[in-house]
């Protein structure tokens, strides 16, 4: 994981550790006081550097406009856009928007520069790529914080227009920041229009239908992007990412409705389905434009959601600002992890029952996602339960026709159960029984027969000959009067 600059670029290496020597004589200085230590990424209009304000001796992020943009016929527009980004960002008073410290023109280098707070942490794109679908409480907490930032921006008549994972940073305190207001629209009647007619500012996977049509984008366009982000955090998949081309993605945004998020994640609050569906409405009027109301809805869902207590390394748990307001990181971490352990004990039966109902109803895809999510949730507080969820996930995978992958995963789980719970534990023996079914489904009849013979012997020794599991396994073994040569269920 890598630290992130305030302007949205991902750092290319670790920040200078305390005591690390830097050859300041070789550093470029802009504005007479900002040393550019190392590049950490690129925004829409310039390169972003991690730097040091030598007057105040603090880390800063410095965005320097691309030199080629200050040449040619477009230089005046580029300069105006850059200055407006500084002005617009500075006017949004919210802890989720990076503070602007300075902006100016460096006479020595001929460069425009913007100085902001340096924000360590991880951007949401990297977080999703590393983890896939996020825990339910993280999805709700990040969504609520984003909605709060949008409410502050919209109150200043600013529409971001490019809300996407790469422009969202989760910091060490769990605070979520929105960066890169370079293509923001200012909804003032007399505001200069810096986007040419027919331009489509934004990023396709998060672009509202009106943006795709190159129509004016208001606050509802940002809410559509928020809906797309909630969908991706909940499911681990970008909205309409399975389409084969950019044209098909655009068409889907214009005409198609995605599957409900709870089809993939039954552990999510039912209210989230309705909210995401509304935010992804094709017509802006149907989405509404009140980001503050969306924030309150998501915060209320988070209050009722169990604490996952999921581990966070180079970034903070985004639920900390809600569950332990203003607490130091180590205090918030312990408070949320304690709540997570309690929630796992209280709510796991309900969550497992819901996943089992999906499986019984034949919704193997939904059940598979649910059991995988539950396995991650319970890995730390209850490893044995996490293994049980992995077994159930393997059964879902086999029911979807992928018995080979299911058996490979189940074999690994059985080995962990043997180490954690013991060879004679009922959970281990039951997993071995499921593996027999998978072997038979793969037409490995003789091997299945041999495994079942061993299992009957071990069950009788561990559970007793009158145990229901032992009797069921013996009955199946007797039905196989001879080792089967083909698939048997």
Helix (H) or strand (E) holding 28: strand 28-30
Is the pLDDT reported for residue 310 higher than 80? yes
pLDDT in tens, 191-213: 444 344 344 556 788 999 999 99
Longest dimension (CA), the chain: 92
Q: 119, 59 in Cβ contact below 8 A?
A: no
Is the pLDDT reported for residue 365 higher than 60? yes
Hey, what are 118's tokens?
């340096």
pLDDT in tens, 383-405: 888 898 999 999 999 999 998 99
pLDDT at position 343 is 57
**Of all residues in the chain, what percent are helix, strand and coil, respectively (each to 5)?**
50, 10, 35
pLDDT at position 340 is 67
70 vs 379: CA distance, rounded Å: 53
Hey, what are 28's tokens?
């470029």
DSSP SS3 for 399? helix
* Catalytic residue list contains 162: yes
CATH architecture of 328-341+356-479: Alpha Horseshoe (1.25)
Is the pLDDT reported for residue 234 higher than 70? yes
pLDDT in tens, 468-489: 889 889 888 888 755 555 544 4
The number of beta carbons lying within 10 Å of the beta carbon of residue 362 is 10
Among positive and negative, which fits the CA dihedral 377, 292, 289, 211?
A: negative
Does the 24-117 domain belong in CATH 3.40.50.300? no
pTM of the predicted model as reported, rounded to 2 decimal places = 0.65
How far CA 193 is from CA of 77, 188, 189, 294, in Å, comes to 10, 10, 10, 29
Q: 448, 489 in Cβ contact below 8 A?
A: no
Q: Mean pLDDT across the chain, nearest whole number? A: 83
pLDDT in tens, 317-334: 999 999 999 888 888 888
- φ, ψ at 108 (rounded to 5°): -70, -40
Q: What dihedral do alpha carbons 87, 91, 94, 98 form, nearest 10°?
A: 20
> Highest-confidence range of 5-19, 81-95, 109-123, by mean pLDDT?
109-123
164 annotated among ligand-binding-site residues: no
Q: Of 53, 162, 222, 437, which one is the catalytic site residue?
A: 162
Strands 58-65 and 100-106: unpaired
477 vs 129: CA distance, rounded Å: 46
Query: What ranges in 361-425 are assigned the alpha helix state H?
Result: 364-378, 383-399, 403-420
pLDDT in tens, 38-58: 998 775 567 889 999 999 999
Domain boundaries, the chain: 24-117, 122-321, 328-341+356-479
Hey, what are 23's tokens?
């050859």
Is the pLDDT reported for residue 20 higher than 80? no
Hey, what are 61's tokens?
């992020």
CATH superfamily placement of domain 122-321:
Transferase(Phosphotransferase) domain 1 (1.10.510.10)
pLDDT at position 52 is 95
pLDDT at position 246 is 87
Is the pLDDT reported for residue 105 higher than 90? no
């Amino acid at each position: 994981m890598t630290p992130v600059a305030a302007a949205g670029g991902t750092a290319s290496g670790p920040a200078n550790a305390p005591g690390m020597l830097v050859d300041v004589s070789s550093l470029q200085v802009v504005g007479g006081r900002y040393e550019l230590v190392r590049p950490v990424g690129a925004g829409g209009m310039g390169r972003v550097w991690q730097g040091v304000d030598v007057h105040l001796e603090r880390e800063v992020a410095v965005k320097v406009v691309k030199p080629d943009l200050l040449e040619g016929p477009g230089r005046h527009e580029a300069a105006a856009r850059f200055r407006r980004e500084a002005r617009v960002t500075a006017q949004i008073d919210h802890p989720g928007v990076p503070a602007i410290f300075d902006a100016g023109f460096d006479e020595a280098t001929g460069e425009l520069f913007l100085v902001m707070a340096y924000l360590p942490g991880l951007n949401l794109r990297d977080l999703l790529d590393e983890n896939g679908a996020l825990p339910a409480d993280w999805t709700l907490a990040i969504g609520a914080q984003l909605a709060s930032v949008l409410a502050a921006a919209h109150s200043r008549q600013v529409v971001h227009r490019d809300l996407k994972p790469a422009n969202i940073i989760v910091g060490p305190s769990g605070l979520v920041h929105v960066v890169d207001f370079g293509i923001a629209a200012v909804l003032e009647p007399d505001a200069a229009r810096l986007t040419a007619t027919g331009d489509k500012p934004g990023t396709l996977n998060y672009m509202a239908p009106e943006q795709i049509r190159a129509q004016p984008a208001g606050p509802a366009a940002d809410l559509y992007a928020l809906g797309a982000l909630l969908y991706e955090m909940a499911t681990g998949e970008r909205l309409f990412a399975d389409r084969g081309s950019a044209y098909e993605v655009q068409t889907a945004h214009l005409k198609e409705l995605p599957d409900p998020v709870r089809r993939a994640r039954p552990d999510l609050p039912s209210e989230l389905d309705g909210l995401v569906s509304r935010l992804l409405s094709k017509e802006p009027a149907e989405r509404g434009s009140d980001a503050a109301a969306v924030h309150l809805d998501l915060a209320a869902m988070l209050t009722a959601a169990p604490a996952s207590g999921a581990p966070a390394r180079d970034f903070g748990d985004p639920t900390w600002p809600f569950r332990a307001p203003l607490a130091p990181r180590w205090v918030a971490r312990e408070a949320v992890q304690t709540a997570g352990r309690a929630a796992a004990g209280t709510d796991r039966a309900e969550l497992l029952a819901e996943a089992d109902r999906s499986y019984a109803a034949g919704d193997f895809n939904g059940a598979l996602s649910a059991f995988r999510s539950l396995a991650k949730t319970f890995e730390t507080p209850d490893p044995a339960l996490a293994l049980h969820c992995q077994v159930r996930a393997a059964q879902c995978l086999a029911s979807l026709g992928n018995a080979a992958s299911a058996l490979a995963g189940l074999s690994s789980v059985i080995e962990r159960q043997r180490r954690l719970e013991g060879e004679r534990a009922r959970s281990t023996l039951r997993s071995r029984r499921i593996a027999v079914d998978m072997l038979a489904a793969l037409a490995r009849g003789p091997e299945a027969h041999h495994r079942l013979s061993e299992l009957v012997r071990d069950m009788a020794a561990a559970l007793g000959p009158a145990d229901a599991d032992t009797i069921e396994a013996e009955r199946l073994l007797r039905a196989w009067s001879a080792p089967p040569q083909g698939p048997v269920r």
